[in-house]
Chains A and B, each alone.
Chain A
């Protein structure tokens, strides 16, 4: 019997807000789906578009970016930069055949441990509905044919 699909999420959490929130969720024993691999960055603005694309290419079914609420960025502007990149990137991945629900940007402050739970659980449910992103066997075979 085939194993049920467990989506893989790569989550880029900013050090000052979202990462602390995830920490808080942990110490508060808030349970949520274990599907996210968390990468701590100093600021959501540090998330280069290349990171997101690489994550998708390497097997992530979804990518989550977590940063401080607008106005609260530790570096003033960083989260706005993330927002601008994100809005354009969504359109790009859609053109690449990747549903834009697979990419998500959320503002989560250090105190919002419960929000980490809600966002991740929600994303896992969405990704289960969408299915895996990975290339089909046929597609993979075609790409490797040349090698």
Chain B
């Protein structure tokens, strides 16, 4: 009997769904090897179909997206109950992702921004005797493992094709890794970068450039050109595709196992490559980094030590 498999998306963009579809022909092999019992983007099974399953009936649930609503929390819990294994798939499930930047603001300010002068939507609305509900949206965004115990993590925004196909190999055929493992190589992207041969032994920058300020040489190490690149602080496995696109790494694969707070460590790595011994000089060099939190915590704010901006 084929193992049952489910895919679900919380506060997600759908890119992780596409990442699975990017197996291309591999999707056909997958569909032969497993019985996909829930996948809203592609299949017509509904929530009640999952509710009717026995606990543990699903072999693996791949959940992407961050948790930021009562509905997503309930779905995460439902799938946890019905599954033997749950995989936090993608940067949002692993670390909070780009939606995690909402942890820099508050619900009240966001509502005002979105709905302006109009009344925002209501959790419960009665119209002519009919009751309509919307889920409660939390003030903060959470990675999946704050909502439920997670067995494995697959990093990336989205996970790269090789990471995805390796994941299916290991979970469906091979020996299961250590619980809690991140299913990707455990060294820095820098080590695999196609431009690493042009990386100087010692890097000392006297300024940082924003991408619109300079044309990036497509042959040389991007950080060495003064453009902030987080390759040194980021887990490998992505195939360095952003570098191939002649743009710097923005850190979507998150930390290696030797880092606890991705943004803090990423900050350290950029601070290490500047020269300057005086405050004024150092501050001038860092002027080129105009948005520290957006640069270092773009994908990982909810999973950081501080988790969110302090409420006023």
Consider the complex of A and B and state whether they touch directly, i.e. have CB atoms less than 8 Å apart.
yes
> B240: CB under 8 A from chain A?
no
Q: Are A49 and B289 in contact (CB under 8 A)?
A: no
> A3: CB under 8 A from chain B?
no
Q: Are B311 and A88 in contact (CB under 8 A)?
A: no
Closest to A52 in B: B264
Q: Are A87 and B67 in contact (CB under 8 A)?
A: no
Q: Are B292 and A97 in contact (CB under 8 A)?
A: no
Q: Quick one: which of A56, A70, A147 contacts B277, CB cutoff 8 A? A: A70
For A52, list chain B residues within 8 Å (CB). Answer: 264
> B196: CB under 8 A from chain A?
no
Q: Are B306 and A57 in contact (CB under 8 A)?
A: yes
For A89, list chain B residues within 8 Å (CB). Answer: 267
A136 to B142, CA, bound (A): 18
Proximity bits, B130-154, A CB within 8 Å = 1, else 0 = 0000000011101000110000000
Q: Which 7 A-B pairs have the closest CB atoms?
A: A97-B310, A57-B305, A49-B264, A92-B292, A53-B305, A95-B293, A50-B264
| Chain B contact residues: helix, strand, loop or mixed | mixed
Q: Are A146 and B139 in contact (CB under 8 A)?
A: no
Chain A, interface size category, equals 20 to 34
Q: Are A50 and B310 in contact (CB under 8 A)?
A: no
Q: Are A95 and B104 in contact (CB under 8 A)?
A: yes
A95 to B291, CA, bound (A): 9
Q: Quick one: which of A48, A84, A139 contacts B264, CB cutoff 8 A? A: A48
For A54, list chain B residues within 8 Å (CB). Answer: 260-261, 305
> B283: CB under 8 A from chain A?
yes
Q: Are B308 and A143 in contact (CB under 8 A)?
A: yes
> B307: CB under 8 A from chain A?
yes
- The stretch among B18-26, B182-190, B268-276 that forms the contact with chain A is B268-276
Q: Are B306 and A53 in contact (CB under 8 A)?
A: yes
Among B263, B265, B272, B310, the one with the most A-chain Cβ atoms within 10 Å of its Cβ is B310
Q: A53-B305, A87-B283 are in contact. Are A81 and B271 (CB under 8 A)?
A: yes
Closest to A84 in B: B271
> B39: CB under 8 A from chain A?
no
Proximity bits, B91-131, A CB within 8 Å = 1, else 0 = 00000000000001000000000000000000000000000
